[in-house]
Structure 1
Amino acid sequence: MRTSPRRLVPLATLALLVGCADTPRPVDSAATPVASTTPAAPPPVPTPSVTRSPARYDKALHDELVAMLRRDQADREGRPQAESDQARTARLKEIVAAHGWPTIDLVGEDGEDAAWAIAQHSDFDLAFQERAVELLRAAVAAGQASPGNLAYLEDRVAVAKGEPQVYGTQVRCGPDGPVPATPIRDEAGVDGRRAGAGLPSFAAYLAEMAAICAEGG
Structure 2
Amino acid sequence: MNETLRDELLEMARLDGKVRAELAASGELFDAGYEPRMARVHERNARRLLRIIESAGWPGTDLVGPDGAEAAWMILQHAIAEPGLLRRALPLLQAAAREGRASPRHAAMLEDRIRFFEGRPQRYGTQFDWDAEGKLSPGEVEDPQRLDERRLSVGLPPLAEQMEEARMRATSEGDRPPADHPAYARAREEWAAAVGWWTD
TM-score, structure 2 as length reference: 0.75
CA deviation vs aligned residue, 1:125-171 (integer Å, no higher than 9, x gap): 10110111111011011110011111111100001110000000011
Q: Residue 160 in 1 paired to residue 117 in 2? A: yes
Q: 2:135 aligns with which of 177, 182, 186?
A: 177
Q: 1:130 aligns with which of 75, 87, 100?
A: 87
Query: Which stretches in structure 1 are left out of the alignment for 5+ residues?
Result: 1-56
Query: Which stretches in structure 2 are left out of the alignment for 5+ residues?
Result: 24-36, 176-200
Tell me the distance in 2 between the aligned counterparts of 1:158 and 1:177: 20
How far is 1:110 from its partner? 0.8
Tell me the distance in 2 between the aligned counterparts of 1:59 and 1:74: 22
Higher relative contact order (CA 8 A, sep 6+): 1
Tell me the distance in 2 between the aligned counterparts of 1:212 and 1:76: 14
Tell me the distance in 2 between the aligned counterparts of 1:91 and 1:207: 34
Tell me which residue corresponds to 2:16: 72
Tell me the distance in 1 between the aligned counterparts of 2:134 and 2:88: 35
Tell me the distance in 2 between the aligned counterparts of 1:145 and 1:112: 7
Helix, strand or coil at the partner of 1:145 = coil
Q: 1:108 aligns with which of 39, 55, 65?
A: 65
Tell me the distance in 2 between the aligned counterparts of 1:214 and 1:177: 11
Higher relative helix content: 2
Q: 1:189 aligns with which of 146, 155, 178?
A: 146
Tell me the distance in 1 between the aligned counterparts of 2:163 and 2:43: 30
Percent identity, aligned pairs only?
37
Indicate conservation of the 8 Å contact 1:85/1:121, yes or no: yes
Tell me which residue corresponds to 2:191: none
Tell me the distance in 1 between the aligned counterparts of 2:128 and 2:72: 22
Indicate conservation of the 8 Å contact 1:177/1:214, yes or no: no
Tell me which residue corresponds to 1:85: 42
TM-score, structure 1 as length reference: 0.69
CA deviation vs aligned residue, 1:73-122 (integer Å, no higher than 9, x gap): 112112668x6211111100111111000010110011011111111011
Tell me the distance in 1 between the aligned counterparts of 2:134 and 2:47: 38
Helix, strand or coil at the partner of 2:119 = coil
